[in-house]
Amino acid sequence: MPPKAPTVAEARAFVEKVEARLLEANVEASRADWVKSTYITDDTEALAAKADERAINAQVELAKASTRFDRLKLPADLARKLKLLKISLTLATPADPKASEELTRIVSGMEGAYGKGKWCPPGSDKCLDIEDLSRLMAESRVPNQLRDAWVGWHRISPPMRPDFARYVALANQGARELGFADTGALWRSKYDMPPDDFAREMDRLWEQVRPLYLQLHAYVRNRLREKYGDDAVPATGPIPAHLLGNMWAQTWENVYSLVAPPNADPGYDLTEILKGRKTDAQQMVRYGEGFFTSLGFASLPETFWQRSLFTKPRDREVVCHASAWDVDFADDLRVKMCIDITGEYFATIHHELGHNFYQRAYNRQPYLFRDSANDGFHEAIGDTIALSITPEYLVKLGLLDKAPDPSKDIGLLLNQALDKISFLPFGLLIDQWRWKVFSGEVPPEKYNESWWALRRKYQGVTPPVARSEEDFDPGAKYHVAANVPYARYFLADILQFQFHCALAQAAGCTEPLHRCSIYGNKEAGRRLNAMLEMGQSRPWPDALEALTGERQMDATAIRDYFAPLERWLEEQNRGKPVGW
């Protein structure tokens, strides 16, 4: 007798059990991961790996069980939940228990190795972690010192290389068991469109902004040549990665002082202002919270202030990489970061709190809908708020007496472009590389060669010293070591300007887009919250439409925001080589 066909009622009962089980498993894993990230030891890594394994295995098991309902015509909410159950994994463990345990242990170990990574300069009695090295890369103007720091940090990752290759094989095995070609296809399936269509969408958005990046790259290269000489920086080729103020050359704002236009000093330095007022880490976070409450959002819960990690402890190793947490998927909100009193961290705090306020906005949704419309939305919200960190906003906080004259805008826009525009190709290529690795197009023996081919193609940067397959430079980036997909950051860089443009219009701003701040505007807050509350309950074009009135991601707002700067860059580059 053939098995009885499933019913809608059975599907609904199944989903209810799924949500209850996954909530319990993921809260357990979240607590273990918090402890592992804030107390790095072999024991906490092992405990977190086991909790992560249980949570992932539960989701994989339930995702496979859900295929029983694949041919059943379901109400829209049930159909979406079952789809999200399959695609929300970033790591699908194989069915074999030994392989599953091995995979989660490898990923936990690679993240731990990154968190514990240090470079010990020859002749020095102090070893430097990534926070120390990031400060050195930002502040030093001595090429040999920058080169040594770059090479020193990149020594942490070659030991990960065999583990990474094994992780790829095991993760692909788990993805195939769920019906995906490989882990890259699983990741690309999260965007309410076929995986290959999403890859093309990324390329389309990049082509919209590439002309602006090329102008910025050419301008920065010329100014760095003036500083470091023709031998260090070529007139027509890629820029050496160690000279751009950041360990990964992913953002360039730390070299602003070397490339700033004449007479563009806005007359203030936010870092100096914050330090001059003896601002502490908690006050930095209070500023970020104040932005959201000014829009009409409720204050953060008291437990946020009790349980968050704001500064690096002296007595233990922690993962300092800034992150926002929703530990119980309800209201146990936290941030984990090692705050320096700088303008950069001031913006980072606004970004991380964007995650927290988003998490709380959708916490009344069913469990499977408690996420952003797509993962790029989650990253974009805080950055959208950070675009409102204008001089006018700083005046309202009492950090500035008056906003600088609009004649200084080119300098302010250039500083922002060194952050936002320089990041776009890096945000694109991280997952371009991993998609090729997961698909087998890039085999283990070509990991490093293909990494630098993509960095040259998209970023126009080159390593400061010769690299080989003895190296494993992708592993020196946290998100690669920790199995964190990266396309979301590229999308966020696009979406934040699209969001900012729509919210500025809602707020009635008549200034140029780069001068608009929505601080204190309740209508903008209402529009924002209406989208945040949707969570992942609808396809992302619906959420985008709720905020912007548009259903397609579009980089036009970036070009509009930076239009005065792009015209200026074209003037500066006239008659000089552009591209590499």
288 forms beta bridges with: none
Give every CB contact of residue 87 below 8 A, 6+ residues apart in sequence. Answer: 186, 189, 190
- Residue 535 is encoded by which pair of tokens? 């969570």
Backbone angles phi, psi at 340, to 5 degrees: -100, 150
* Residue (of 403, 440, 72, 442) closest to 268 by Cα position: 403
* Residue (of 564, 515, 514) closest to 261 by Cα position: 564
| CA dist., res. 465 & res. 241, Å (int) | 10
3-state secondary structure 547-568: HHCCCCCCCHHHHHHCHHHHHH
Contacts made by residues 59-66, CB under 8 angstroms, sequence distance 24+: 59/22, 59/25, 59/85, 59/88, 59/89, 60/89, 60/92, 60/93, 60/95, 60/174, 60/177, 60/178, 62/18, 62/21, 62/22, 63/89, 63/178, 64/95, 64/177, 64/178, 65/14, 66/14, 66/18
* Residue (of 93, 38, 20, 10) closest to 317 by Cα position: 38
Instruction: Yes or no: say if 529 and 296 are a contact pair by the CB < 8 Å rule.
Output: yes
Q: What is the DSSP letter of 455?
A: I
User: How would you classify residue 198: left for phi > 0, otherwise alpha for psi between -120 and 50, otherwise beta?
Assistant: alpha
H/E stretch holding 499 reads helix 487-506
Instruction: Yes or no: say if 390 and 516 are a contact pair by the CB < 8 Å rule.
Output: yes
Q: If you write DSSP's letter for every residue of 365-406 in order, what string do you get?
A: S-GGG-S-SSHHHHHHHHHHHHTT--HHHHHHTTS-SSPPPG
- Residue 51 to residues 33, 36, 123, 540, Cα–Cα distance (Å): 8, 11, 42, 30
Length of the chain: 580
H/E stretch holding 324 reads strand 323-326
Q: What is the DSSP letter of 117?
A: -
| CA dist., res. 224 & res. 241, Å (int) | 12
- Residue 335 is encoded by which pair of tokens? 């941030």
Rounded to 10 deg, the angle between the 281-294 and 343-361 helix axes is: 50
Give the N- to C-terminal CA distance of the chain in Å, as an integer.
68
* Residue (of 286, 295, 361, 352) closest to 324 by Cα position: 352
Give every CB contact of residue 244 below 8 A, 6+ residues apart in sequence. Answer: 220, 252, 254, 255, 422, 461
Catalogue the active-site residues. 321-322, 351-352, 355, 379, 479, 489
- Residue 136 is encoded by which pair of tokens? 């050195």
| CA dist., res. 299 & res. 335, Å (int) | 15
C-alpha angle 434/440/444, rounded to 5°?
Answer: 75
